[in-house]
């Protein structure tokens, strides 16, 4: 394989010598970039569907119930003291379902 590379480089750039880097780029794109784009879309959809009463977990691990949803922020009630905290929407990591909260 290495001999083909040097032969292709010495004789000029042919399609055969460019196939391996192109194939590598396509594989990299398919294995790394596409799954991240899918995950990002799912997270953005979750943020757009936030509503009052949802139980959420922030990136910092704080769990609370949404009281108010604003354009770019949410106000959470955090237990046990019932504190109200304001977070930017991008700090919300997940919406906690009732099944996950009970366990």
Percent of the chain past pLDDT 90, that is, above it, reads: 60
> How many Å apart are CA 50 and CA 27, to the nearest integer?
35
Whether the Cβ atoms of residue 38 and residue 25 lie closer than 8 Å to each other: no
Query: Which CA distances in Å does 33 have to 16, 22, 36, 48, 93?
Result: 26, 15, 5, 23, 20
Q: Among 64, 102, 30, which residue's Cα sits nearest to residue 74?
A: 64
- State the average pLDDT for the chain: 84
Please say if the pLDDT value at position 103 is more than 50.
no
Q: Which two tokens stand for residue 11?
A: 């004789």
């Amino acid at each position: 394989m290495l001999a083909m590379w040097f032969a292709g480089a010495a004789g000029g750039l042919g399609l055969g010598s460019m196939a391996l880097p192109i194939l590598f780029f396509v594989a990299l794109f398919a294995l790394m970039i596409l799954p991240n784009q899918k995950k990002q879309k799912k997270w953005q959809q979750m943020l757009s569907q936030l509503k009052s009463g949802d139980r959420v977990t922030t990136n910092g691990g704080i769990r609370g119930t949404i009281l108010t949803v604003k354009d770019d922020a949410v106000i959470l009630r955090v237990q046990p003291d019932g504190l109200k905290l304001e977070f930017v929407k991008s700090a919300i990591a997940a919406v906690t379902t009732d099944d996950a909260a009970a366990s």
